[in-house]
Homo-oligomer: A and B are copies of this chain.
Amino acid sequence: MQIQTPDWVKHAVFYQIFPDRFARTQQSRKFLLKNARWEDWNEIPTLQGYKGGDLWGVMEQLDYLQDLGINAIYFTPIFQSASNHRYHTHDYYQVDPLLGGNAAFMELLEAAHHRDIKVVLDGVFNHASRGFFCFHDILENGPHSPWLDWFKVEGWPLSAYDGNYPANYVGWDGNRALPEFNHENPEVREYIMQVAEHWLRLGIDGWRLDVPFCITAEGFWQEFRDRVKAANPEAYIVGEVWRDAREWLQGDQFDGVMNYLFTAPTIAFAAGDRVDLEQVQDRSYDPYPALFAPDYAQKMQELLKLYPWEIQLTQLNLLASHDTARLLSIAGGDPASVELSTLLLLTFPGAPSIYYGDEVGLPGKLDPDSRRGFPLEAHWNLEVLAYHRQLIAIRHQYRALRIGSYEVLYAEGTVYVFARCLDEEELIVAVNVGTEPAKVHFEVNSLKTQPKQHLYGSAEATWTDELTLSLPARSGSILA
């Protein structure tokens, strides 16, 4: 089978938006909750509080995003949900009224497309919420409900809210707030397929799939792909799979996954011993123990061999998400760890995804802290913003960084050097994670050119028989 993935993803730089926290409209377009008592935008978030971000607010920030170089947005869930993260879907056909509802979303979608910015939504299809209509009917009518076969009811009575009694239905991860669909029921399957098609027909550019590994019904994701691609052949399907995802990346299911297999080694290499274990332990990725360059090279090479190249180019690469602590906090506040990782992110094959706020230096420990309100401009770290802009711009400028080959040129101690090449376009990326300057030299046989022009950073390159690189401490450079 020839594997086909959407071309636009290969050239995309994503921005991940947690809608309750990115931007609150400055205009008064709301008719509901105009005067709501939101949780203070600038205070540390709580697990249950809403800060009142909305899609009109996102619309008002499209200039900002475009200026940053973003050409795709991945929204964590936007559908009607009784939770600030909206992973507890209440209605798959309604954008949350707190966000502006379907009308605001359609307006945003049009505005984004007008700027050639793609929009990918988060599909939570493994489970719904206690308030989701069909499950709610079971809560209200018990064995009389016609929706019984839609969920995994195991006994009576159900106890949806009282933890002192068995729930008597299957909830995701044992959580009774998240009743799991019965995907063996063909009608449930059809329902989910139609939801996916519906939003594609309305114009979205793809689906990010929440915990797709939990849905094990045979052929489910194959059918999902078939129907999504029939609705929009260029739609992007990206699964939340934290580890080896070969099962889903053979071309018949997803175009890519949240590439935590890139995230973890990159943090372990760039931040090294600075990693605050409390922020990463017992998660589904391992940004520790610290890695030196040879190990990092090996991890990247293994990763690049794990999936077909066409898939590699449409992976969703990231340093942080709503499900992790932010890298700045993982790295104990060390700015260089973030910059080095960001450089590696923006020069890796696959679509980089910036978690909102990372680009202005927003810190954040594990949830709920990693979901703070996007800071006021006065609190932005402008240096961080500047290098994000610069690295994104460089990626957009050089096709080699997006779809060129990836070749490790050198990996010793704290120094990691690789090339990205496409036809005549050849770039060298060099990183020294050590706290001392490094000077390395090595033979380069595989390049046609001798890149030495500084695109980023201040490494000095001298070409003789060998390439000699002088790398400041804790720095990274791109040469063309």
Using an 8 Å CB-CB cutoff, how does the interface string of A27-59 with B read, 1 for contact, 0 for none? 000011110111100000010111010000000
Number of copies: 2
Contact residues in B for A50 (Cβ distance below 8 Å): 141, 144-146
Using an 8 Å CB-CB cutoff, how does the interface string of A123-152 with B read, 1 for contact, 0 for none? 000000111010011011110111100000
A39 to B142, CA, bound (A): 13
A136 to B128, CA, bound (A): 14
Within the complex, what minimum Cβ distance (angstroms) separates A58 from chain B?
19
Contact residues in B for A162 (Cβ distance below 8 Å): 161-162
Asked if A83 is an interface residue, CB under 8 A from chain B, the answer is yes
The contact of A90 among B36, B133, B141, B191, by CB within 8 Å, is B133
A139 to B81, CA, bound (A): 12
A136, B131: Cβ atoms closer than 8 Å:
yes
Asked if A80 is an interface residue, CB under 8 A from chain B, the answer is yes
Asked if A381 is an interface residue, CB under 8 A from chain B, the answer is no
A49 to B145, CA, bound (A): 7
Asked if A63 is an interface residue, CB under 8 A from chain B, the answer is no
A52, B146: Cβ atoms closer than 8 Å:
yes
A83 to B145, CA, bound (A): 9
Counting chain A residues whose Cβ lies within 8 A of the other chain, the interface size class is: 35 or more
Asked if A190 is an interface residue, CB under 8 A from chain B, the answer is yes
Within the complex, what minimum Cβ distance (angstroms) separates A168 from chain B?
13
A146, B83: Cβ atoms closer than 8 Å:
no
A80, B131: Cβ atoms closer than 8 Å:
no
Asked if A372 is an interface residue, CB under 8 A from chain B, the answer is no
Known: A36-B146, A133-B91, A136-B131. A141 touches B48 (CB 8 A): yes
Contact residues in B for A91 (Cβ distance below 8 Å): 91, 133
A265 to B144, CA, bound (A): 38
Known: A39-B144, A161-B161. A187 touches B133 (CB 8 A): no
B31, A139: Cβ atoms closer than 8 Å:
no
A162 to B80, CA, bound (A): 26
User: What are 28 residue pairs bridging A and B, where the CB atoms are less than 8 Å apart in the complex?
Assistant: A31-B187, A31-B194, A32-B187, A36-B146, A38-B146, A48-B141, A50-B144, A50-B145, A50-B146, A52-B146, A80-B133, A82-B133, A82-B136, A82-B139, A82-B141, A82-B145, A83-B140, A84-B141, A88-B140, A91-B91, A91-B133, A130-B139, A131-B131, A131-B133, A131-B140, A136-B136, A160-B161, A161-B162
Interface of A toward B, CB cutoff 8 Å: 31-34, 36-39, 46, 48-50, 52, 80, 82-84, 88, 90-91, 97-98, 129-131, 133, 136-137, 139-142, 144-147, 160-162, 177, 187, 190-191, 194
